[in-house]
Chain A
Amino acid sequence: MTDLSPTILLVEDEPEIRRFLRTSLSSEGYRIVESASGSRGAVDAATHKPDLAIVDLGLPDMDGVAVIRRIRAWSPMPIIVLSARVHERGKLEAFEAGADDYVTKPFGIGELVARIRVALRHAMRSRDGEQTIVLDDGSIDLEKRIARRGGAPVRLTPLEFRLVAVLAKHMGMVVTHRQLLREVWGPTHELDTHYLRIYIKQLRDKFEPDPAQPRHFLTELGVGYRLQPGE
Chain B
Amino acid sequence: MSTKVRKGYAWAVAAAAACTLAGLAITPRFDLVNIAMVYMLGVVYVALRHPLGAAIATAVLCVGAFDFLFVPPRGTLTVDDLQYLLTFAIMVVVAVVISRLVQDAREQSRAQAGLALEAETERIRSALLASISHDLRTPLAVIVGASSSLVDAGDRLNADERRGLAKSVYEQSRDMSDRVVKILELTRLEAGGLKLQRDWSAFPDILRAALARLHERMATHRVVLDVPDDLPLILVDATLVEQALGNLLENALKHTPPGTVVSVKAERRDLALRVSVEDYAGALSPDQVERVFDKFWRGDPEGGAGGVGLGLAICRAIVRLHGGRVWAESLSGGATAFRFELPIDETPPMPVEAPAAPDD
Question: Hey, which bits of chain A sit against chain B, CB under 8 A?
Answer: 85-86, 88-89, 92, 106, 108, 146, 153-160, 177, 192-195, 197-198, 201, 212-214, 219, 221-222
Stretch of B2-10, B84-92, B318-326, B348-356 lying at the A interface: B348-356
Q: Which 5 A-B pairs have the closest CB atoms?
A: A155-B356, A194-B200, A222-B239, A219-B205, A221-B209
Q: Chain B contacts of A214 at CB under 8 A?
A: 208
The answer to the question of B36 belonging to the interface, with a C-beta cut-off of 8 Å to chain A, is no
For the complex formed, measure the closest distance between the CB of A142 and the CB atoms of chain B, giving whole angstroms: 14
State whether A157 and B357 are in contact (beta carbons under 8 Å apart), knowing that A106-B173, A197-B201 are contacts in the complex.
yes
Q: Are B239 and A88 in contact (CB under 8 A)?
A: yes
- Chain A: CB-nearest residue to B356: A155
Number of B positions contacting A (CB below 8 A) = 35
Tell me whether A86 and B239 are in contact (CB under 8 A).
no
Cβ of B199 under 8 Å from chain A: yes
Name B198-242 residues within 8 Å CB distance of A.
Answer: 199-202, 204-206, 208-209, 227, 229, 233, 237-239, 242
Q: Which residue in chain A gives the minimum CB-CB distance to B177?
A: A106
**Complex: how many Å from CA A194 to CA B199?**
8
Across the interface, which residues of B come within 8 angstroms of A213, CB to CB? Answer: 208
**Interface residue? B159 (CB, 8 A):** no
A146 touches which of B188, B350, B359 (Cβ 8 Å): B359
| Known A155-B358, A177-B199; 4 more pairs at CB < 8 Å | A153-B359, A195-B350, A222-B237, A222-B239
Q: Closest B-chain residue to A89, C-beta based?
A: B197
Interchain nearest-CB distance for B120 vs A (Å)? 26
Which partner residue on chain B sits nearest A213 by CB separation?
Answer: B208
Given that A106-B173, A157-B357 are contacting pairs, would A221 and B238 also be in contact in the complex, using a CB cutoff of 8 Å?
yes
Measured between C-beta atoms, what is the minimum distance from B143 to chain A in Å? 13
Q: Among A156, A192, A219, point to the contact of B208 (Cβ < 8 A).
A: A219
Q: Digitize B313-347: 1 where CB-to-A-CB distance is under 8 Å, 0 elsewhere.
A: 00000000000000000000000000000000001
Q: Which residues of A contact B355 (CB under 8 A)?
A: 157
